[in-house]
């Protein structure tokens, strides 16, 4: 059962989506706190305050005035809403995520986003974006906001948080145990950025073994979890060959505590261990 605060934040997120599509200045002024921090977690670009965000949003609109966002899923817990969305730029559809943290007044104080349009031109700090709109990048602190003040978790949500911790531990140290103990036999695992889909434990196991062969030292460090009902949205750092990158995952659990759906957003710096990428497929078939 969602709290009144969580229901409010879901409605505010819908308004944020509507204004992002139709009136970006209204979105900034009505949805964001004056001292907001907005971070593109993939590039590290950080926009500080409404005016810093306004500059970036105007540049993105200048690149593509017809951009659209379509929210596909929301997970609300306490003051945080984790959002999955389709982002449409220039007729192309990409995948994106945002972790939004609201204050008591219903304004966004922290926005951690993951995603880019297919051209890359509207992603702050990407070469195309800098060339097209002369945006200035800053170095991101990329710190996860506090979830202080979140409502108490239900037993189901508390159990799922514990299961995610076991999932993290076994992903790092015992991948076959992770597959067998954490995933349902009929699980569906999707890399949302590449579209690569694995059905069932054995397809997942084959990919995980190929990743381990590429880098047996890989590690995951979870930085935040947002649990609501049967879902947990997760922010993390992924370490590949000592290089650190950002990723996020949406996990759905069944009544037996097993993962039935895994939607992941992220890739290692080389791209070689990202299912669906050309480099990964070349490596896996060699």
Q: Per the structure block, which two tokens stand in for 6?
A: 């969580």
β-sheet bridge partners, residue 111: 38, 100
> Any residues with CB less than 8 A from the CB of 237 and at least 6 apart, and which?
220, 221, 223, 244, 245, 246, 247
The answer to whether residues 75 and 233 touch, using CB atoms and an 8 Å cutoff, is yes
**Is residue 235 predicted with pLDDT exceeding 50?**
yes
- Say which CATH class 155-284 falls into: alpha beta
Residue 284, pLDDT score: 60
Show me where the domains of the chain are located.
4-133, 155-284
Q: In what order do the strands lie in the sheet with 219-228?
A: 197-199, 183-191, 259-265, 243-253, 231-240, 219-228
Q: What pTM was computed for the model?
A: 0.84
User: What is the DSSP secondary structure assignment for residue 144, as one 8-state letter?
Assistant: P
**pLDDT tens for each residue of 112-166:** 999 865 555 456 556 555 454 443 333 333 344 334 345 678 899 999 999 999 9
The answer to whether residues 252 and 259 touch, using CB atoms and an 8 Å cutoff, is yes
- Domain covering 4-133 in this structure, CATH number: 3.10.450.50
Closest C-alpha to 28, from 48, 50, 45, 1: 50
Dist CA 68 CA 18 (whole Å): 9
Q: What is the torsion angle, in degrees rounded to the nearest 10, for the CA atoms of residue 17, residue 144, residue 221 and residue 121?
A: 50
Q: Do domains 4-133 and 155-284 have the same CATH topology?
A: yes
**Is residue 53 predicted with pLDDT exceeding 60?**
yes
Read off the pLDDT band of 272 (50, 70, 90). Answer: low
Q: In what order do the strands lie in the sheet with 108-115?
A: 46-48, 32-40, 108-115, 92-102, 80-89, 68-77
Averaged pLDDT for residues 159-183:
96
Using DSSP bridges, classify how beta strands 219-228 and 92-102 pair: parallel, antiparallel or unpaired. unpaired
Averaged pLDDT for residues 68-91:
92
Long-range CB contacts (within 8 A, 24+) of 128-133:
129/59, 129/63, 132/59, 132/62, 132/63, 133/59, 133/60, 133/62, 133/63
User: What is the DSSP secondary structure assignment for residue 267, as one 8-state letter?
Assistant: -
Name the residue with higher pLDDT: 264 or 64: 264
User: What is the DSSP secondary structure assignment for residue 150, as one 8-state letter?
Assistant: P
């Amino acid at each position: 059962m969602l709290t009144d605060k969580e229901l409010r934040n879901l409605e505010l997120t819908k308004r944020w989506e509507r204004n992002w599509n139709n009136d970006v200045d209204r979105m900034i002024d009505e949805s964001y706190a004056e001292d907001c921090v907005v971070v593109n977690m993939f590039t590290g670009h950080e926009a500080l305050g409404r005016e810093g965000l306004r500059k970036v949003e105007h540049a993105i609109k200048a690149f593509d005035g017809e951009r659209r966002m379509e929210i596909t899923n929301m997970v609300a817990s306490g003051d945080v809403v984790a959002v999955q969305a389709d982002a449409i730029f220039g007729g192309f559809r990409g995948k994106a995520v945002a972790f939004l943290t609201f204050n008591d007044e219903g304004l966004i104080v922290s926005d951690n986003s993951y995603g880019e349009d297919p051209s890359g031109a509207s992603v702050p700090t990407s070469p195309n974006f800098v060339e097209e709109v002369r945006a200035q990048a800053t170095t991101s602190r990329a710190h996860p906001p506090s979830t202080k003040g979140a409502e108490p978790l239900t037993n189901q949500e508390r159990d799922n948080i514990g299961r995610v911790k076991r999932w993290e531990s076994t992903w790092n140290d015992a991948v076959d145990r992770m597959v067998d103990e954490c995933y349902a036999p009929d699980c569906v695992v999707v890399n949302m950025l590449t579209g690569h889909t694995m059905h069932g434990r054995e397809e997942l196991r084959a990919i995980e073994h190929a990743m381990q062969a590429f880098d047996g030292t890989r590690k995951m460090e979870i930085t935040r979890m947002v649990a609501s009902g049967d879902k947990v949205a997760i922010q993390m750092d992924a370490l590949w060959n000592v290089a650190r990158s950002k990723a996020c995952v949406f996990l759905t659990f069944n009544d037996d505590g097993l993962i039935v759906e895994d939607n992941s957003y992220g890739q290692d710096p080389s791209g070689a261990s990202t299912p669906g990428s050309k480099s990964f497929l070349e490596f896996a078939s060699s």
